[in-house]
C-alpha cells in the first residue's frame, strides 16, 4: 500500500475509533471499533508487523500499570475511602459553598495525583454531587472542578494519568525526579484553576453563615490509606532500585483485592472488571492505529513544526502544540504521537508535552477520555441542562487553559533551571 493511501486509511480508522469512544452507543466498550481498526491497518499493510509488535511492547508495561492502579482505586472505594471523603467535605464546608469548593479542589487534586484521574471522575464525582445536594448548594462549580482537576491535577506523579505513564517511560527520569520537576507546575496550575473558578462561579458561590456540624464523624478506612501510602513508597523504592514501578502498583492492588475477596465484599469477576480489560484493549489497539498514522506521514509533518532546543520559548511552543493536538484528536493519541518525536530533545521537552496534553483538554469535551467519562457520570446522575452545558464548559476552558498552561510552563522552566534533569 502506498503512503498516501495508508495515511488516509489510518486517519479514517483513528477518527472512527475516537468517535466511537466519544459516543459509546448503548454503553458498548471503546474497544469494539479500535481493535478491528488495529487489525485492518495491520492486514492492509499500513503498519508493518514489526512496528505493531514494537508498539505493543512499548505499551505493555504501561497498560499493566494502568490496570493495577484502576484495581487499587476501585477497592479503595469498596473500603469506604470516597464515602469518608464526602463526609470530610461536608464537615469542612459547614454549609458554605466557597469552603466546599476549596475542599473539592484539595481532595480532587490529591486523589487524581495518587489514585489517577479515573478515581476522581468515576468515584469522587458522584460523592461531590451527593454532598452538594445534602448541603443544599449549587453543584455545578464543584462538579466542573472534578472534571478540570481530573486533567490539570494529573501532572504530579507518573501514576496520575495514562499520558504520564507514557511520557515517564520515554523521559528517562526516575519516579522521584519526575515528581520533583512536576511539583511546581502542578501547584501553580491547580492554583490558577482555583482563582478562575472563584471568579467564574461567583454567583453560584454565595457567602453563607456557617452551620454547626451535627453529623457523625467519618469512618477513616485506615487499611486502604496505609496500603496506598505503602504503594506510593513502593513506587519510589522500585524506581531507585531500577525495578518497574508497576510491580509496586500490582502489590498494592493485590492486597486490597484479596482482602475484599476474603471479606466477601467482591468476587474474582469484580476484580477483573475493576481492571477495565475492555479499556485496556482499546488503549493497546489505539496505540497501533496511531503508530500507523505516524509512520505514514504525520511524524514528518510534525517534525517540520516542532521547534528545536529546550529553552523557555521551545517549552511554550511544544506545550501549546500538544494542547491543540489533544483537542483535535484527543490527548491519548496526541501523547502517543508527540512523545517519541520530542524525547531526543530531553526530558524537559517531554514534560512540556505532558503539560499540554493534560491541561489542554479542559478546553473541550473531546480533549480527553476522562472528560468524556465525567460527562457520562454527570448525565447519569444529574440534570444535564443544569450541570453539563457544552457552551459553558468551553467558556470556562477558554479562561482556565491559557492561565493554567502558561503558569505551568513557566514553573516547569524554573524547575528545570533549579533542579536540572
Q: Count CA within 13 A, CB hemisphere, residue 261.
A: 14
pLDDT for position 212: 60
Q: Specify the 3-state DSSP secondary structure of 216.
A: coil
Could you tell me if 331 and 361 are in contact, meaning their C-beta atoms sit under 8 angstroms apart? Answer: yes
CA distance 126 to 57: 36
Count the helix, strand and coil residues of the chain and give each as a percent rounded to the nearest 5.
85, 0, 15
CA distance 180 to 416: 10
Reported as type and span, the H/E element at residue 344 is: none
Could you tell me if 338 and 302 are in contact, meaning their C-beta atoms sit under 8 angstroms apart? Answer: yes
pLDDT for position 39: 95
Alpha carbon distances (Å) from 292 to 334, 399, 404: 14, 35, 33
pLDDT for position 119: 86
Reported as type and span, the H/E element at residue 313 is: helix 312-329
CA distance 74 to 66: 12
How would you class 67 by CB atoms within 10 Å of its CB: exposed for 0-12, middle for 13-18, buried for 19 or more?
A: buried
Q: Structural domain boundaries of the chain?
A: 3-206+216-419
pLDDT tens per residue across all 421 residues of the chain: 677 898 899 989 988 988 887 777 877 888 899 999 999 999 999 999 999 999 888 888 888 888 888 898 889 888 888 888 888 888 888 778 899 999 999 999 999 998 888 889 888 888 898 888 888 888 899 999 999 999 999 999 998 988 998 899 889 898 999 999 999 999 999 999 999 999 999 988 887 666 665 556 667 889 998 999 999 898 888 877 878 778 888 999 999 999 999 998 889 999 999 888 988 898 899 889 988 988 888 878 888 888 888 899 999 999 999 999 998 888 888 898 899 899 999 999 999 999 999 999 999 877 887 887 787 777 766 554 444 577 888 899 999 999 999 999 999 999 999 987 7
Q: What are phi and psi of 245, to 5 degrees?
A: -60, -15
Q: What is the pTM of this model?
A: 0.83
Q: Which of 73, 40, 1, 356 is nearest to 224 (CA)?
A: 73
pLDDT for position 384: 44
CA distance 67 to 336: 19
pLDDT for position 133: 83
Taking the CA atoms of residue 384, residue 390, residue 394 and residue 396 in that order, the dihedral angle to the nearest 10 degrees is -20
Could you tell me if 322 and 353 are in contact, meaning their C-beta atoms sit under 8 angstroms apart? Answer: yes
Query: If phi over 0 gives left and psi between -120 and 50 gives alpha, with beta otherwise, what is residue 330?
Result: left
**Chain-centre distance of CA 312, in angstroms?**
25
Taking the CA atoms of residue 185, residue 283, residue 388 and residue 76 in that order, the dihedral angle to the nearest 10 degrees is -70
pLDDT for position 308: 85
Could you tell me if 374 and 367 are in contact, meaning their C-beta atoms sit under 8 angstroms apart? Answer: no
Amino acid at each position: 500500500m502506498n503512503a498516501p493511501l495508508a495515511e488516509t486509511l489510518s486517519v479514517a480508522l483513528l477518527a472512527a475509533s475516537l468517535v466511537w469512544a466519544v459516543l459509546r452507543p448503548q454503553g458498548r466498550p471503546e474497544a469494539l471499533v479500535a481493535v478491528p481498526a488495529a487489525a485492518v491497518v495491520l492486514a492492509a499493510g499500513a503498519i508493518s508487523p514489526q512496528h505493531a509488535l514494537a508498539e505493543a511492547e512499548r505499551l505493555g508495561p504501561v497498560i499493566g500499570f494502568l490496570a493495577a492502579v484502576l484495581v487499587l482505586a476501585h477497592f479503595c472505594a469498596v473500603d469506604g475511602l470516597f464515602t469518608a471523603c464526602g463526609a470530610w467535605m461536608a464537615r469542612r464546608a459547614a454549609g458554605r459553598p466557597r469552603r466546599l469548593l476549596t475542599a473539592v479542589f484539595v481532595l480532587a487534586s490529591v486523589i487524581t495525583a495518587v489514585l489517577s484521574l479515573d478515581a476522581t471522575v468515576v468515584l469522587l464525582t458522584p460523592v461531590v454531587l451527593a454532598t452538594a445536594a445534602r448541603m443544599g448548594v449549587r453543584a455545578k462549580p464543584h462538579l466542573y472542578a472534578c472534571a478540570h482537576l481530573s486533567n490539570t491535577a494529573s501532572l504530579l506523579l507518573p501514576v496520575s494519568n495514562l499520558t504520564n505513564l507514557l511520557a515517564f517511560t520515554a523521559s528517562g527520569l526516575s519516579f522521584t525526579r519526575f515528581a520533583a520537576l512536576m511539583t511546581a507546575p502542578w501547584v501553580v496550575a491547580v492554583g490558577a484553576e482555583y482563582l478562575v473558578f472563584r471568579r467564574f462561579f461567583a454567583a453560584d458561590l454565595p457567602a453563607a453563615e456557617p452551620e454547626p456540624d451535627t453529623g457523625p464523624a467519618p469512618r477513616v478506612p485506615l487499611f486502604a490509606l496505609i496500603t496506598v501510602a505503602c504503594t506510593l513508597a513502593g513506587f519510589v523504592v522500585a524506581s531507585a532500585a531500577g525495578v518497574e514501578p508497576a510491580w509496586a502498583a500490582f502489590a498494592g492492588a493485590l492486597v486490597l483485592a484479596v482482602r475484599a475477596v476474603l471479606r466477601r465484599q467482591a468476587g474474582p469477576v469484580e476484580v477483573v472488571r475493576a481492571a477495565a480489560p475492555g479499556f485496556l484493549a482499546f488503549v493497546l489497539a489505539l496505540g497501533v492505529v496511531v503508530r500507523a498514522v505516524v509512520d505514514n506521514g504525520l511524524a514528518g509533518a510534525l517534525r517540520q513544526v516542532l521547534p528545536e532546543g529546550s529553552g523557555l520559548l521551545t517549552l511554550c511552543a511544544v506545550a501549546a502544540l500538544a494542547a491543540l493536538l489533544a483537542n483535535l484528536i484527543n490527548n491519548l493519541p496526541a501523547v502517543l504521537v508527540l512523545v517519541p518525536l520530542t524525547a531526543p530533545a530531553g526530558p524537559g521537552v517531554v514534560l512540556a508535552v505532558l503539560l499540554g496534553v493534560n491541561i489542554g483538554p479542559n478546553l473541550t469535551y473531546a480533549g480527553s477520555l476522562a472528560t468524556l467519562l465525567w460527562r457520562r457520570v454527570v448525565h447519569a446522575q444529574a440534570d444535564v441542562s443544569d450541570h453539563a452545558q457544552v457552551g459553558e464548559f468551553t467558556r470556562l476552558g477558554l479562561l482556565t487553559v491559557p492561565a493554567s498552561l502558561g503558569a505551568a510552563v513557566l514553573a516547569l522552566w524554573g524547575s528545570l533551571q533549579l533542579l536540572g534533569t
